[in-house]
Amino acid sequence: MKAAEGDFENSAALSPKQKCVVRWAELVTKNEAKRDKKCWEEIKTHFSPQEIIELTVVICHFNLMNRLNDTLQLDLETPPPSMRSTTVAPEKLKKYAREVLAR
């Protein structure tokens, strides 16, 4: 499968929306999303502003967890108890989204 081999752009297994998400995740991970106007315009055709924020927060969360686990050489099967769950209150996420969209 081309997507599993890193050639997601030419994979028939992914929809255009899914390919856009993978592109967005790569750009966020590389800290290049703000410079890619084409991907930004494309992602806005698939997701609402709230969904873009939620998607980006999830991507950032997993980037953080990967960097933390790699740096501390943690076993992925047994994360420290204090890191087993991360919960953000919906009210806080909505407030953050409103502040970001107001900029």
Q: Is the pTM of this model over 0.85?
A: no
Query: What pLDDT does 85 receive?
Result: 64
96 and 53 assigned to the same domain = yes
Q: How confident is the model at residue 24 (pLDDT cuts 50, 70, 90)?
A: very high
Instruction: Please indicate whether residue 71 or residue 49 has the higher confidence score (pLDDT).
Output: 49
Domain that holds residue 14: 1-46
DSSP-derived secondary structure for the chain? -TTTTT-GGG-TTS-HHHHHHHHHHHHHHTT-GGG-HHHHHHHHHHS-HHHHHHHHHHHHHHHHHHHHHHHHT--TTS--GGGS-----HHHHHHHHHHHHH-
55 and 67 assigned to the same domain = yes
Query: What pLDDT does 27 receive?
Result: 96
Structural domain total, the chain: 2
1 and 30 assigned to the same domain = yes
52 and 14 assigned to the same domain = no
36 and 77 assigned to the same domain = no
